Amino acid sequence: MEEYLARIAPADEVAMRAAAERQGQLTKPPGALGVLEDLSVRVAGMTGVCPPAVPMPAVVTVFAADHGVHAQGVSPWPQEVTAGMLANFAAGGAAVNAFAANNRVEVRVVDVGVATPVEELDIVHAKVRLGTRDLSVEAALTNDEVRAAIAVGFDLADTLVRDGYRCLLTGDMGIANTTASAALIATFTGSTAEVVTGRGTGIDDATLAHKTAIVRSALEKHAVPATDPLGALQAYGGLEHAALAGYILGGAANRVPVILDGVIAGGAALVAQALQPHSIEYCVAGHRSAEPGHAVALKTLGLIPLVDLDLRLGEGTGAVLAYPILACAVRALGEMATFESAGIDS
């Protein structure tokens, strides 16, 4: 872990200043590209280059795992849907596949802890265990399991960047994973269970009240302080959250932009932030999920979402939707004429 964290440096201030200055010379009124101007400056800081290259090719990695707390009835969906959706990803039939095909993003799927065997699927097999333990009864993971799942994500980020990818997007799949996310977000933001627990894929009022009670009781039972990110992953899981935290840290260590998807990535990013605050300088919030905990997480992360369209699917769909916006921001910085080069007297 210490080796991983030591590889993460702050964003490059010199490149950021050069990018901000260049924004003022491009053929447009100063500030007219709004949020995209800041975004381009941030990417200069991440990559240490001004103007930065267009962050392509891009890849969305869908980390999949199951959750022992599913046994408590926090989701109307059977746990087997996680494995079923993995087959759907592998066959190209899910929403993330359709979005990724449109936006020229490649899709990788990683089994980091699905509760059922999925060896037959053409995906990355890195199962740490068959789902987490039930966080309402005991710690979801051991310290070794947490470290193993973080390593899956970090090492995969290393591999992807070595293979030429220049933008890493987060994705996730796991029935009941908004319950673990709520506990993680409450831990790192100091929010109550009521504020961060939501309807996930769509649950009724009674199930929401039950799910919220489960989260509240787990927060009291485990009582992990915000200063103990590995302890929080042990207490609540999930394996995909741990892998995502590693993947975010790995993206930061490799100085490439990481586009976060929704509430699951939000929980994982809070873990990464607690482990190494500079890692968030490499993160872009793809969208704001309809799940209430996500807005709370983004506030603590200090990130402004690029897209806000009431999505609540996960899989990486919000990150993939945001990717062209990031690419456009970088292209504008690198490819636009300046008033001087265009011969326009401003």
Other CB atoms within 10 Å distance of the CB of residue 194: 15
| Given 9, 18, 130, 336, the residue binding a second copy (CB under 8 A) | 336
| Given 88, 197, 273, 279, the residue binding a second copy (CB under 8 A) | 88
Q: What is the rounded CA–CA span in Å between residue 176 and residue 75?
A: 6
One symbol per residue from 43 to 62: x for binding a second copy (CB under 8 A), - otherwise; what is it? -----------x--------
SS3 293: helix
| Given 4, 99, 165, 236, the residue binding a second copy (CB under 8 A) | 99
| Given 47, 72, 79, 97, the residue binding a second copy (CB under 8 A) | 97
Rounded to the nearest 5°, which phi and psi values hold at 191?
-90, 160
Using the rule CB under 8 A, give the single segment among 134-142, 179-187, 210-218, 309-317 that binds a second copy.
309-317
Q: What is the rounded CA–CA span in Å between residue 114 and residue 154?
A: 19
Query: In 149-178, which positions are buried (b, 16+ CB within 10 angstroms) versus exposed (e)?
Result: bbbbbbbbbbebbeeebbbbbbbbbbbbbb
Handedness of CA 253, 278, 268, 257 (dihedral sign): negative
Using the rule CB under 8 A, give the single segment among 15-23, 89-97, 150-158, 252-260 that binds a second copy.
89-97
> Site residues for a second copy, window 313-332 (CB under 8 A)?
313, 317, 320-321, 324-325, 327-328, 331-332
Counting Cβ atoms within 10 Å, is residue 221 exposed (0-12), middle (13-18) or buried (19+)?
Answer: middle
Looking at the Cβ atoms of 139 and 325, the one nearer to a second copy is: 325
Rounded to the nearest angstrom, the gap between the alpha carbon of residue 256 and the centroid of all alpha carbons in its chain is: 14
Beta bridge partners of 307: 287
- Does the footprint of a second copy cover residue 292 (CB under 8 A)? no
Using the rule CB under 8 A, give the single segment among 110-118, 120-128, 292-300, 308-316 that binds a second copy.
308-316
Q: Active-site residue 335, yes or no?
A: no
- Does the footprint of a second copy cover residue 306 (CB under 8 A)? yes
Minimum Å gap between C-beta 247 and a second copy is: 23
> Site residues for a second copy, window 192-251 (CB under 8 A)?
201-202
Looking at the Cβ atoms of 48 and 339, the one nearer to a second copy is: 339
Looking at the Cβ atoms of 235 and 329, the one nearer to a second copy is: 329
- Does the footprint of a second copy cover residue 80 (CB under 8 A)? yes
Helix 229-236 / helix 239-253 crossing angle, nearest 10 deg: 150
- Compute how many residues bind a second copy; rule: CB under 8 A: 61
- Does the footprint of a second copy cover residue 312 (CB under 8 A)? yes
Looking at the Cβ atoms of 148 and 332, the one nearer to a second copy is: 332
Looking at the Cβ atoms of 213 and 336, the one nearer to a second copy is: 336
- Which residue in the block uniquely carries the two structure tokens 């381009």? 40
Q: What is the rounded CA–CA span in Å between residue 207 and residue 224?
A: 25
What is the maximum alpha-carbon separation in the chain?
A: 70
Handedness of CA 231, 11, 296, 63 (dihedral sign): negative
- Asked whether 132 and 249 are in contact (CB, 8 A), the reply is no
- Does the footprint of a second copy cover residue 33 (CB under 8 A)? yes
- Does the footprint of a second copy cover residue 121 (CB under 8 A)? no
Q: What is the rounded CA–CA span in Å between residue 278 and residue 24?
A: 27
Residues lying near a second copy in the complex (CB under 8 A): 26-36, 54, 77-78, 80-81, 84-85, 87-88, 91-95, 97-99, 101-103, 201-202, 290, 306-313, 317, 320-321, 324-325, 327-328, 331-332, 334-337, 341-346
Residues identified as active-site: 315
